[in-house]
Amino acid sequence: MRKFIVSIVALASILTAQAERIESPSGNVSVDFELSPSGEPVYSMKYNDKEIIKPSKLGYELKGNSNLREGFKLIKTSTSSFDETWEPVWGEVKEIRNNYNELLAELEQTSTGRKMNIRFRVYDDGMGLRYEFPQQKNLVYFTVKEEHTQFAMTGDHIAWWIPGDYDTQEYDYTESRLSEISKYHDSAVSSNASQTLFSPTGVQTALQMKTDDGIYINIHEAALVDYSCMHLNLDEKNLVFESWLTPDAEGYKGRLQTPCHSPWRTVLVSDDARKILASHLILNLNEPCKIEDTSWIKPVKYMGVWWEMITGKGSWSYTNELPSVKLDACDYSSLKPNGTHSANNDNVKRYIDFASEHGFDQLLIEGWNIGWEDWFGNQKDYVFDFVTPYPDFDIKELNEYAHSKGIRLMMHHETSSSSRNYERHLEEAYRLMNKYGYNSVKSGYVGNMLPYGEHHYGQWMNNHYLYCITEAAKHKIMVNAHEAVRPTGLCRTYPNLIGNESARGTEYQAFGGSKTFHTTVLPFTRLQGGPMDYTPGIFEMNISKINPNNNSHANVTIANQLSLYCTMYSPLQMAADLPENYERFMDAFQFIKDVPVDWDNSIYLEAEPGKYVTVARKEKGTNNWFVGSTTGNAPHKSFISLDFLDKDKKYIATIYSDTKDTDYKLNPQAYKIVKGLVDYKTKLKINTVEAGGYAISIFEVNDKSEMKGLKRLSSSPIK
């Protein structure tokens, strides 16, 4: 890591309410801070001298009818500048620059003597602000009734949003004007809603917007630790968003002890959508890595005994009977197998053989452990112990078989959202993983929370998720948490947090489908805080061919599914479909085999939320590049230049694309493969269909004989 401080400037104590301004290093982003005549903290934000956030209030409402919203005086301000370059353990790029200017405003409430500081960090692509509460005699323990952080919009922007919900993010996105959020709210709430919606104008972050004059604005949060997740509630009349924290079982939003601070509230801004996707502001606002030895943390490409259960072809449970005694004392030898249990020895070995043959790293197996029949029977308090396999899953034999084939098994811990039960068994479960050579776990939090009344995104559960990650690190285990709180960049601090779901993933293609623009919105929203285990790679879109009782249709094309290995960034990438479906399209499957999961560089070539995302990524440690382009709710004519290639090198490109006859509903498995020579002068025009896309592998030529018989790819459209 290279790190250096550019400058530090301390200002004298200031007792007046005059406005203070802090600008980004280039001066294109500025933030103004002042106190109103009544002592209310107020900030505003500009981009290239254009107002982005109008004057917006800051503060807290506390339990007991007290507040930290007004009556403040400004005790002192100080500014500083910071510039560092750091290397992530894994990521989209080899190095990340963290360069900002900072303003710290130290406040005191005149009537109570309570102190509250507000810190702003301003980057060339946005800003972050947070509240800080120093140790003080007048404020020690306090309970938050609500945080009142406002984001006053300058107009009725277009927004891509999902409803505010304390327990799920698994929604399709809605595109609308801000003033139309309440109008479309009911239709946006699908059957997967958790019934904890808080407002007809409430939305979740990251929230992506676009102004009528082409400015892209994104609101989110960073470094969510020991605090409740932030949603946004909109005053539609005045177009002002205000923070709305996830409550606990008593309805309060946080229980804090000084010294402490809030997460960062972030605003990204640019006139180029590609720069929103390329931003590292969220990561930079998190603390540096706290794991001293990271050599065991490795990106993973995996398959899974999973999709057949998601589609309903197989089952997680070994039996349909309910045990007559508690889980820990249950004898499964007396229970009748249901004949559909997918995690059985023979089936797992079949997957191991296929994954090994085609160069995968790991194999996820869900439904391996006892308790699923209890859960489905609503015996939730006594479900999983995370160490006891079903009778038809020989954990020792299967791990030895996998290791002999160069494959690791990936552990699965479905907690059924019983966090206390999981914590009770966690140490024993991690020890079992160490014993059999597992180094990664997919954890799940499906269902209502235990303790009762808590929510998936409240302070209690956010502390639980982080506890599991830090405990896993002690055992050198990587964590992929599903149904957990949406990421806020904590993977910088704890890089063993190698993946999250926390959004509507591929599984919904087997539950009725997702909107065709879904994967062109997720990079602007869900992926702002960290990578997503989206589980792409579906080649059979007619789900009834897998399970005759499931009439769902995956609203994608094969070329689209290939593109997601680049556009949906993750160091944890799954080939989610069944081996037999890949065997029918082995020439297309080659891209999944070739594409890496760790990168030295990433360049966003085209981007527009809801319409298309095209990105080129350079494989770590090589000169090979991979390009992915996902298309939204209309066909796209993609024009890209390969000028990112080295000027003195030749390359062989293989393009996997939609054809002129491809249709995501009627002909989704139609694709075309074109192979030829390219260099840094090459320009490509590629047509894609709705919910389609393309993927390109670009390998450096190391031997001229590799070029034999290949022609230079022209700039004519590839249809």
Write out pLDDT tens, residues 228-260. 999 999 999 999 999 999 999 999 999 999 999
The one catalytic residue in 92, 507, 619, 690 is 507
pLDDT tens digits along 584-595: 999 999 999 999
Element at 500 (helix H, strand E): strand 497-500
| Strand spans (E) along 517-658 | 572-575, 599-608, 612-619, 625-631, 636-641, 651-657
Q: Which residues contact 491 (CB under 8 A, 6 or more apart)?
A: 283, 497, 498, 530, 531
β-partners of residue 242 are: 150, 233
For the whole prediction, is pTM greater than 0.75?
yes
Contact 416, 383 (CB under 8 A): yes
Residue 273: both structure tokens together: 């959508």
Q: Is 608 exposed, middle or buried (0-12, 13-18, 19+ CB in 10 A)?
A: middle
Q: Which of 19-23, 33-37, 268-272, 448-452 has the lowest mean pLDDT?
A: 448-452
Residue 339, Cβ neighbours under 10 Å: how many? 11
Q: Is 328 helix (H, G, I), strand (E, B) or coil?
A: helix
Q: What is the DSSP letter of 522?
A: G
CA distance linking residue 157 with residue 94, whole number of Å: 35
* Predicted confidence (pLDDT) per residue in 530-587, tens digit: 999 999 999 999 999 999 999 999 999 999 999 999 999 999 999 999 999 999 999 9
Handedness of CA 573, 578, 581, 583 (dihedral sign): positive
- The answer to whether the peptide bond before residue 548 is cis (omega within 30 degrees of 0) is no
Q: What is the pLDDT of residue 18?
A: 67
Question: Does the pLDDT of residue 379 top 60, yes or no?
Answer: no
Q: Give the H or E element holding residue 411.
A: strand 408-414
Mean pLDDT value of segment 501-505? 97
Whole-angstrom distance, CA of residue 361 vs CA of residue 588: 20
Non-local CB neighbours of 66 within 8 Å, separated by 6+ positions: 112
pLDDT tops 90 at residue 334:
no
What's the token pair of residue 717?
């459209």
The CB-side HSE value for 451 (13 A sphere, CA atoms) comes to 9
Let me know if 507 is a catalytic residue: yes
Q: Which ranges in 437-535 belong to alpha helices (H)? A: 459-474, 518-521
What token pair was written down for 557? Answer: 């094309």
Nearest CA-CA partner of 534 in 482, 484, 490: 482
Pairing outcome for strands 300-305 and 362-365:
parallel
Contact, 627 vs 612, CB < 8 A?
Answer: no
Measured distance CA(364)–CA(625) in Å, rounded: 28
The token pair that represents 381 in the structure block: 């308090």
List the domains of the chain with CATH numbers. 2-284 (2.70.98.10), 300-502 (3.20.20.70)
Contact 625, 619 (CB under 8 A): yes
pLDDT confidence tier of residue 321, bands split at 50, 70 and 90 = confident
